[in-house]
């Protein structure tokens, strides 16, 4: 009987060493990576809520997923904007990972999703353990170029915790100006307006000089599309027109202020002095 008990004890020790589970699988430690979106877009306020942003939703989703991860698994947090940045090493202590999630803030750059996912996959391969999930947390706002880029990795272990960003937003992508062909006291201004929302928007582009409106144009912009408008500004005071070009451009309505600042809806452009013969 004692021999049988010894054999049974040795068998249990071997099973424990192999981390055998009752469901028939081995419980080998796995390494997971959280790719948390910290791009500038994550600073957008939620519709009808001025006290919360997309970043708040992303943090909550990441922490909820973390609490379901087996305690034997390691987790690394990567903050993703234009550059993938590790925020933690491989961690077993969930408190450290949760602290890093809560300390994550929106940055000032756009999301480079392909780079972040590639980096997360490389970190898993270098760790030497069984790869777990790569979890992207965010709305997935990427450029049209990246969306059509074949460089985005296809990862079988990718999980997406999508953050609903139902924010109808439009913005000025660029503004250009040049002397009008008719004379030195007028300007041609080209404004590019992009609709980031999912519904058609009517926006008004207003140009001001010295705080006084000089002209306005209303544009109908389809969802996900871009419109261009070339306007000839009215004549400006000669002492300003011949020396410098100072104008302010507004976009109305201001549907979103990603960093809680009107700078995304109002732009100031200042040129170097211009000679009368320019």
Percent of the chain past pLDDT 90, that is, above it, reads: 35
Phi-psi region of 225 (alpha: psi -120 to 50; beta: other; left: phi over 0): beta
CATH number, domain with residue 217: 2.60.40.10
Range of the domain at 147: 29-162
Q: Residue 92 domain-assigned?
A: yes
Measured in Å, how far apart are the chain's first and last C-alpha atoms?
105
In a domain, 19, yes or no: no
Backbone angles phi, psi at 137, to 5 degrees: -120, 115
Same domain for 158 and 38:
yes
Residues 157 and 207 in one domain: no
Residue 188: phi and psi, rounded to 5, are -100, 125
- Answer with the residue of higher pLDDT: 8 or 277: 8
123, 139, 162 — which closes off a domain? Answer: 162
Residues 189 and 126 occupy one common structural domain: no
Q: What is the pLDDT of residue 38?
A: 96
Does 14 reside within a domain?
Answer: no
Backbone Cα Rg of the chain: 27
Give 7-35 pLDDT, tens digit per residue.
Answer: 676 676 665 544 444 444 445 789 999 99
User: Do 66 and 140 share a domain, yes or no?
Assistant: yes
Same domain, 126 and 196: no
Tell me whether residue 20 is in a domain: no
In a domain, 37, yes or no: yes
Same domain, 34 and 131: yes
Closest-CA residue to 245 (of 197, 181, 194, 177): 177
Least confident of 14-23, 125-134, 213-222: 14-23
Q: Are residue 260 and residue 189 in the same domain, yes or no?
A: yes
Residues 130 and 254 in one domain: no
Q: What is the mean pLDDT of the chain?
A: 75
By C-alpha distance, which of 77, 80, 78 is closest to 39? Answer: 80
204 in the same domain as 178: yes
Verify that 34 and 132 share a domain, yes or no: yes
pLDDT tens string 133-166: 999 999 988 776 766 666 677 889 999 999 987 7
In this structure, are 216 and 234 located in the same domain? yes
Residue that terminates a domain, selected from 138, 162, 186: 162
In a domain, 123, yes or no: yes
Q: From residue 250, give the alpha-carbon distance in Å to each of 205, 209, 214, 238, 247.
A: 6, 11, 11, 24, 10
Q: Are residues 50 and 83 in the same domain?
A: yes
Sheet holding 170-179, edge to edge: 170-179, 187-195, 226-232
| Over residues 94-109, mean pLDDT | 95
24 lies in some domain? no
Tell me the pTM: 0.62
Look at residue 185 and tell me if it is in a domain: yes
Count up the domains in the chain and report the number: 2
CATH code where residue 34 lies: 3.40.50.410
Highest mean pLDDT out of 224-228, 230-234, 265-269: 224-228
Show which of 162, 189, 223 is a domain's final residue.
162
**Res 193: pLDDT:** 83
List pLDDT tens digits, range 183-202.
556 667 777 887 877 788 88
């Amino acid at each position: 009987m004692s021999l049988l008990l010894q054999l049974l004890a040795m068998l249990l020790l071997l099973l424990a060493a192999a981390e055998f589970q009752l469901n028939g699988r081995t419980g080998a430690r796995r390494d997971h990576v959280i790719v948390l979106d910290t791009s500038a877009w994550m600073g957008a306020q939620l519709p009808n809520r001025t006290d919360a942003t997309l970043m708040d939703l992303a943090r909550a989703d990441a922490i909820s997923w973390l609490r379901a991860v087996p305690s034997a698994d390691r987790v690394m947090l990567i903050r993703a904007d234009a550059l993938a940045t590790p925020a933690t090493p491989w961690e077993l202590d969930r408190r450290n990972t949760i602290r890093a999630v809560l300390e994550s803030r929106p940055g000032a750059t756009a999301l480079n999703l392909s780079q972040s996912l590639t980096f997360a996959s490389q970190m898993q391969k270098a760790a030497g353990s069984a790869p777990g999930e790569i979890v992207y947390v965010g709305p997935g706002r990427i450029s049209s170029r990246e969306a059509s880029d074949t460089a985005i990795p296809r990862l079988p272990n990718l999980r997406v915790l999508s953050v609903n960003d139902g924010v109808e937003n439009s913005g000025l992508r660029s503004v250009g100006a040049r002397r009008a062909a008719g004379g030195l006291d007028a300007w041609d201004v080209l404004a590019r307006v992009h609709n980031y929302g999912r519904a058609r928007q009517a926006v008004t582009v207003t140009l001001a000089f010295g705080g006084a409106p000089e002209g306005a144009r209303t544009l109908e912009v389809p969802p996900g599309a871009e419109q261009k408008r070339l306007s000839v500004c009215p004549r400006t005071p000669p002492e300003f027109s011949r020396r410098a070009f100072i104008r302010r451009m507004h976009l109305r309505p201001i549907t979103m202020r990603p960093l809680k600042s009107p700078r995304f809806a109002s732009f100031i452009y200042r040129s170097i002095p211009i000679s009368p013969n320019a």
